[in-house]
Amino acid sequence: MSMKQAMKRLAAALAAAALPAWAADPPPPVAAALERPALQSPKSPRMAILAVAQAGKRMVAAGERGIVITSDDGGRSWKQAQTPTSASLTALRFADSLSGWAVGHMGIVLHTADGGLTWDKQLDGAQAAKLALAAAEKSGNARALQDAERLVADGADKPFFDICVLDERTLFIVGAYNQAFRSDNGGRSWTPWQDHIANPKALHLYAIHAVGDTLFIAGEQGLLLRSDDRGQRFAPIESPYKGSWFGLVGGRDGSLLAYGLRGNAYVTQDMGKHWQQAASATPVSISAGAELADGRIALVSQAGEVLVSADHGLNFTQLPQKTGLPLAAVAQGPDGLIVGSLRGVMTLPLSATPAAK
């Protein structure tokens, strides 16, 4: 499977160049996009949104060309934040109502200390490649050195797909071709973490999620990895599906849902030892998911479907509303679901569905 075919978040994923696959305009040069602040535009809430998160009572969304928008009224209105890059952003995570991170294309990592209003760059692909090269030279590993030299030669063209925030200091980021980095100081410095991940084929890593102190990584070709020591080592676990996974959703009951291509979704209640296939109610690839405040799980699909489970991900009901657009992100807002689509951010009502069991 090519990167473009298997990009995280499917139809709402970005092409490897730094623009959405559906966008008509050509991408800016890599160096220019990395250094150029996102263009301020009144149309930013209608641009492609690839990630949505909650920061206290504030909603934060991010997407193409480095845009970040915030809402303090439950998604009824949005304001564009200041961001130092035009690299498209694919994931958002917050440690609390103020401190959060965004990752995306060209190896970009941004941090906010004010709930998403302003952002500073902590890492980019060129810096990440140099860190990987220095670590490989120190290790004496010939293959790692060869891979790192290739990263440096390629420049900042590799995306990060997801970030896991264990706490305000401990962070993990994962991306294309087994790229992985760890920070123990809130992102002020980063350590290459590829050697801690058992992924000899260098498959793309699309998602990383913590269930308590146990961490999971999901990737292409059915790749599933688990760490039982807070991320020191990630070992493969048996996967119930050989197609690509695009995301992970953890439940407050300790369960974990993995979702991906062609509507495939599986649930484990024992940290990945056994998996049960979910009745996802769609044959279409699932692009994003989230646990809701009442314990229900919401998924969104490439076909614009919204699916909700009240039994920890075993069975999903399709909500009647359809956006008609591929959806790329979902989070709970105060008045329903906040979803990201090709044409911006939208609020969808959570129609009457059973409460979580």
CATH code reported for the domain at 3-288 = 2.120.10.30
Residue extents of the structural domains in the chain: 3-288
pLDDT tens digits for the chain (357 residues)?
A: 433 343 444 433 433 323 333 233 345 566 678 889 999 999 999 999 999 999 999 999 999 999 999 999 999 999 999 999 999 999 999 999 999 999 999 999 999 999 999 999 999 999 999 999 999 888 888 888 888 888 888 878 899 999 999 999 999 999 999 999 999 999 999 999 999 999 999 999 999 999 999 999 999 999 999 999 999 999 999 999 999 999 999 999 999 999 999 999 999 999 999 999 999 889 999 999 999 999 999 999 999 999 999 999 999 999 987 778 999 999 999 989 999 999 999 999 887 555 555
Q: What is the 3-state secondary structure (H, E, C) of the chain?
A: CCHHHHCCCHHHCECCCCCECCCCCCCCCHHHHHHCCCCCCCCHHHCCEEEEEEECCEEEEEEHHHCEEEECCCCCCCEECECCCCCCEEEEEECCCCCEEEEEHHHCEEEECCCCCECEEEECHHHHHHHHHHHHHHHCCHHHHHHHHHHHHHCCCCCEEEEEECCCCCEEEEEHHHCEEEECCCCCCCEECHHHECCCCCCCEEEEEEECCEEEEEEHHHCEEEECCCCCCEEECCCCCCCCEEEEEECCCCCEEEEEHHHCEEEECCCCCCCEECECCCCCCEEEEEECCCCCEEEEECCCCEEEECCCCCECEECCCCCCCCEEEEEEECCEEEEEECCEEEEECCCCCCCCC
Q: What is the pLDDT of residues 239-296, one digit of tens each?
A: 999 999 999 999 999 999 999 999 999 999 999 999 999 998 899 999 999 999 999 9
Q: What is the pLDDT of residues 3-15, one digit of tens each?
A: 334 344 443 343 3
